[in-house]
Chains A and B, each alone.
Chain A
C-alpha cells in the first residue's frame, strides 16, 4: 500500500511536471507556430539554477525566482534577436531554434562541464500521504502546479489578454488592425512558454541527472504529449501527459527503460497516423 501510494505520488508529480513543460511548448507552438527545438534547454537551465542555488548555500525554493529570471532573460534575447524575424516561417524557426539549442548546450557545457551533476535530495520536511512518507516541498509544488493550471485556465478564458491572444492566433493582421500589439503579445507568450519549461526544470532537478544534454528528452516527451493530447486545450494537455507519462512508467517498470521509450514513440506515431489532431482537437 505504501509502495503503491509512493509510486502514485511520484507518477502524479512527474505527470504534472511534464504537463508544465508541455504547456510551455504548447503555448509557443500552438499560439505562435514556433516549434521551439530549444524548449528542452530551458528545462536544463531551470535544473542548473537549482545547482547554482545549492552551490551558493541557498534554500531550494530560491531556485524558482532564479530560474524564472534566467529563462525570461534568455527567452527575451532569443525572441528579440532571432525568433521574431521568423514568425510564420515554421521551417526556419525549427532550424534556428535547433541551432540555438546546440548553442545553449555548448555554453552550459563550457561553463559547468560535461559531467552529470546531482542535486541534493535530502531536503528537510516530510509529510505522510496515504501512508507514504513524501517530501513536503514536492507536495507543495504539486499543489502549486494544480492551482497554477486552474488559474491559467480561468484567466485565459476570462481575461482581456486571453481574448487578445486568441485574436492574434486566429488572424494576426486583423488583430494588429484593431489595435492589438501582436509583437509584444507574441514576445510575452514566448517568454511565458520558456519560463514554464524553466520552472519544470526546477521541479525535476532533484529527480534526474542534471547535465547539458538533458533537455532533448523533455523536448521529445512534451512533443509526444502534444501529439497525443492535441494542441489548444488544457484538457488535452493533461490527458496527453497522463497517457505519455503513464505508459512510459508502466512499460518501463515491466520491461526496461528502452521498452517504455519505444512504447511512447509507437503511441505517438500511431496518434499521428490515426488522430492527427490529438485526443482533444481544437475544432
Chain B
C-alpha cells in the first residue's frame, strides 16, 4: 500500500517535470493524453472497482467540452467562467446519476444492459451534437474557443491540466479508500449479499458512475481551451471505445494505470498511425489479450517492479476505538405470514403458508427437501416476490419491497452457502456488517467508520478468535471459517430478527458444537429473535423450543419439540426417522 502510493506520487512528479526535460510541445501533446487519462481514471473507478463497464464515457467528456467551450466563447468574466466550469462538471454527473440509477435499480449485477445503454447514449450524443448546429456548431464543431484566461495554451495550460490530474487522482484515491470505495468493491464481489446488509447498491453504483462522469466533464472542460475546437467526435463512440482500450491496457484496477495507458498508446499512435497500416489492428489485438489474460494491465508491471524496492513503512495496526451503540430498540419481534403463496412457472412453491412468530429466542424451521423453507426466507427478504398473501413485520407489510429496505427494517439473513466478500479482508467484511443500517451517505465519505466497534464485536472475537487476525482476505479462509464469519457478520448487524439458513452446513461435529454455543450466546446477549433452517435434529433440539414443520409449501405442524415428535402427520412425512 505504502509503496504503491509512493509510486503514484513519483509518477505525478515525473509528469510535472516533462516540460523541463523535453520541450513545451511534448508537454502540449502530453496534456491531451492526460485529459483522456483522467476520463480513463473515472472508467477505472466503475470498471476496476465497482465491476460495471461504461462504454460511452466520451459523452460526458464532450458535454463538459461543449459547455465550458461556450462559457469561454462568451467571455463574460471570471464568475461566469466558474459557473460554466461547475456546469461542465455537474451536468454530466447529473445525467450519469439519473441514467445509472434507472438501469441499476432493475438490473442487478454487472450485466451488459448498463454497458449497452451507455453505448447507445454516446451514439445519441454524437447525433445531437451533429444536428444541433445553433448550439454546437454542428458537423464542423464549435470553433474559435479562446485560451483559458491567464494561461498560454502551448505553455502554461499544461500545468493547469497537471493540477487537475493531481486533484482528480487525489479525490479518486480518497473515494476509493473511504467506506464508499470499500462498499463499491463489495458490490462487485457479491451485490446481493450487500443488499441483505441494507445497502442500496443501485444508489452506490449510480454515485460511482456520476463521479466518473464528473471527472470526464472536468477533463472535457479543459479539452475545449486546449484544442480551441470541439467537434462531435469528442462526444462520440470512437473516442469512448479508445479510452476504454487505454484504460484496460494501462490497468483498470489501479489509479494511475489508465493515465499511463493513455500516454503510451497516445504517443505511439501519433508516431505509428501513419507509417504502420495495421497499427489499429495491433492495438485491438493487444486489448483482447490484456482483457483475457492480464486484467492488471501495464501498471501491474510497474507495481511489480516497485515491490522489489524497500517499503516506505508499513501501516500500523488498526484501532477500533469508536464505540458505537448498534443495539436497536428491541421490542419483541412480530412476524406474520398470512396465506403466502409463491408460484414460479408451473411450480407452486409456497401454498398458503401461514404462521406467526412473536416471542424472542430461537425458532427452527424443518421439513423435507423442497418443502419451501428457503423460499419462505426468500419471500421474506425480498429475493422473491410472493405471488399472493401478506407478510407483516412489526406491523408493516414486507412483501414486494426491495432487499435493502427489508434489511433496514431489521431483518438480517445468512444465506445457505456462506457468502462473504472474498477479496476484502476479514476486517473489511466485519466493517460492512458494523456499518449495516447506520452508515449514512455522508459517513461513507469519511474515514471514521473504519474505527467503529461494538461490545458485540468484542464478544464475537471471544467466540471466534480467528476473526482478530483481520488482515487476511476472507477468500483465503476455510469453509468452516467462512461459515462462521458469515454468521458473525449477520449477527453484528444487530438486527432484531436473524434468519440463519443452515448455519451448521459443512461444519465438523466439533465446529457444529461451537456454532450452537455461539448462536445460543449471541441470541441470549442481544435479545434478538432467530429463525433457523436446519436438517440436523440434534441442533434443532438443543437450540429451540419452538419448531415449525413445513411440507409442500404449507405449515404442517407447529409447536414444542415434543409435540412435533409425537405428531402423526410429521411422523408420516419423515417416515419415523430421526434425520
A residues in contact (CB < 8 Å) with B: 29, 35, 37, 82, 85-86, 90-92, 94-96, 98-100, 102-103, 105-107, 109-110, 213, 216-217, 219-220, 223-224, 227, 256-258, 261-262, 265, 268-269, 272-273, 276, 283
Q: How many residues of chain B have a CB within 8 Å of chain A?
A: 45
* Partner-contacting stretch, out of B73-81, B124-132, B506-514, B541-549: B124-132
A99 touches B99 (CB 8 A): no
Cα distance A269–B284 in the bound complex, in angstroms: 30
A216 touches B237 (CB 8 A): yes
Q: Which A residues are in CB contact (< 8 Å) with B309?
A: none
State which residues 267-326 of B face A: CB under 8 Å: 277-278, 280-281, 283-285, 287-288, 291-292
Task: Give min CB distance, A91 to chain B, whole Å.
Answer: 5
* Partner-contacting stretch, out of B115-123, B144-152, B366-374: B115-123
Cα distance A213–B495 in the bound complex, in angstroms: 54
Cα distance A240–B55 in the bound complex, in angstroms: 24
* Partner-contacting stretch, out of B57-65, B102-110, B167-175, B352-360: B102-110
| A–B complex contacts, Cβ < 8 Å, 23 sampled | A35-B112, A35-B115, A82-B292, A91-B110, A92-B291, A92-B292, A94-B53, A95-B53, A98-B55, A99-B245, A102-B284, A103-B287, A217-B123, A220-B119, A223-B116, A224-B120, A257-B131, A265-B117, A269-B99, A272-B103, A273-B106, A276-B107, A283-B345
B123 touches A261 (CB 8 A): yes
Q: Which B residues are in CB contact (< 8 Å) with A265?
A: 117, 120-121, 124
Nearest neighbor of B103 in chain A, beta-carbon distance = A272
Cα distance A103–B290 in the bound complex, in angstroms: 13
Nearest neighbor of B99 in chain A, beta-carbon distance = A269
Which residue of the partner chain, among A98, A102, A216, contacts B123 with CB atoms under 8 Å? A216
A110 touches B278 (CB 8 A): yes
Q: A102-B245, A258-B131 are in contact. Are A96 and B124 (CB under 8 A)?
A: no
Which residue of the partner chain, among B102, B112, B124, contacts A90 with CB atoms under 8 Å? B112
Nearest neighbor of A262 in chain B, beta-carbon distance = B124
The 3 closest A-B pairs by CB, nearest first: A35-B112, A99-B288, A103-B284
B280 touches A106 (CB 8 A): yes
Cα distance A272–B316 in the bound complex, in angstroms: 47
Does chain A have a CB within 8 A of B111?
Answer: yes
B124 touches A91 (CB 8 A): no
B123 touches A96 (CB 8 A): no
Highest count of chain A CB atoms <10 Å: which of B119, B120, B280 = B120
Q: Which B residues are in CB contact (< 8 Å) with A95?
A: 53, 248, 291
Cα distance A48–B283 in the bound complex, in angstroms: 23
Cα distance A273–B345 in the bound complex, in angstroms: 22
Task: Give min CB distance, B285 to chain A, whole Å.
Answer: 6
Does chain A have a CB within 8 A of B25?
Answer: no
Which residue of the partner chain, among A96, A105, A268, contacts B291 with CB atoms under 8 Å? A96
Cα distance A213–B119 in the bound complex, in angstroms: 14
Which residue of the partner chain, among B55, B117, B281, contacts A103 with CB atoms under 8 Å? B281
A96 touches B288 (CB 8 A): yes
Which residue of the partner chain, among A91, A102, A258, A269, contacts B287 with CB atoms under 8 Å? A102
Cα distance A62–B106 in the bound complex, in angstroms: 45
B131 touches A220 (CB 8 A): no
Does chain A have a CB within 8 A of B329?
Answer: no
B284 touches A276 (CB 8 A): no
Task: Give min CB distance, B552 to chain A, whole Å.
Answer: 21
B120 touches A90 (CB 8 A): no
Task: Give min CB distance, B349 to chain A, whole Å.
Answer: 13
Cα distance A220–B105 in the bound complex, in angstroms: 21
A99 touches B117 (CB 8 A): no
SS class of chain B's interface: helix, strand, loop or mixed? helix
Q: A94-B115, A103-B288 are in contact. Are A257 and B127 (CB under 8 A)?
A: yes
B106 touches A276 (CB 8 A): yes
Task: Give min CB distance, B47 to chain A, whole Å.
Answer: 9
B112 touches A94 (CB 8 A): yes
Does chain A have a CB within 8 A of B572?
Answer: no
Cα distance A105–B237 in the bound complex, in angstroms: 13
Does chain A have a CB within 8 A of B2?
Answer: no
B103 touches A99 (CB 8 A): no
Cα distance A37–B113 in the bound complex, in angstroms: 11
Which residue of the partner chain, among B102, B111, B278, contacts A273 with CB atoms under 8 Å? B102
Q: Which B residues are in CB contact (< 8 Å) with A86?
A: 292
Which residue of the partner chain, among A91, A261, A269, contacts B117 with CB atoms under 8 Å? A269
Q: Which A residues are in CB contact (< 8 Å) with B116?
A: 35, 219-220, 223
Highest count of chain B CB atoms <10 Å: which of A102, A109, A216, A265 = A102
A268 touches B120 (CB 8 A): yes
Q: A35-B116, A273-B102 are in contact. Are A90 and B107 (CB under 8 A)?
A: no
Does chain A have a CB within 8 A of B553?
Answer: no
A82 touches B123 (CB 8 A): no
Q: Which B residues are in CB contact (< 8 Å) with A227?
A: 113
Does chain A have a CB within 8 A of B503?
Answer: no
Cα distance A257–B127 in the bound complex, in angstroms: 8
Task: Give min CB distance, A81 to chain B, whole Å.
Answer: 10
Task: Give min CB distance, A248 to chain B, whole Å.
Answer: 12
Cα distance A48–B110 in the bound complex, in angstroms: 34
Nearest neighbor of A107 in chain B, beta-carbon distance = B281
Task: Give min CB distance, A218 to chain B, whole Å.
Answer: 12
B110 touches A90 (CB 8 A): yes
Q: Which B residues are in CB contact (< 8 Å) with A220?
A: 116, 119-120, 123
Additional 12 contacts, C-beta under 8 A, given A35-B116, A91-B53, A213-B237: A35-B112, A35-B115, A94-B53, A99-B284, A106-B278, A106-B280, A106-B284, A110-B280, A216-B119, A220-B120, A269-B99, A276-B107
Does chain A have a CB within 8 A of B51?
Answer: yes
A272 touches B345 (CB 8 A): no
Cα distance A276–B113 in the bound complex, in angstroms: 10
Does chain A have a CB within 8 A of B241?
Answer: yes
A96 touches B55 (CB 8 A): no
Nearest neighbor of A266 in chain B, beta-carbon distance = B124
Cα distance A258–B232 in the bound complex, in angstroms: 14
Does chain A have a CB within 8 A of B344?
Answer: yes
Cα distance A271–B528 in the bound complex, in angstroms: 42
Q: Which A residues are in CB contact (< 8 Å) with B106?
A: 272-273, 276
Q: Which A residues are in CB contact (< 8 Å) with B124?
A: 258, 261-262, 265
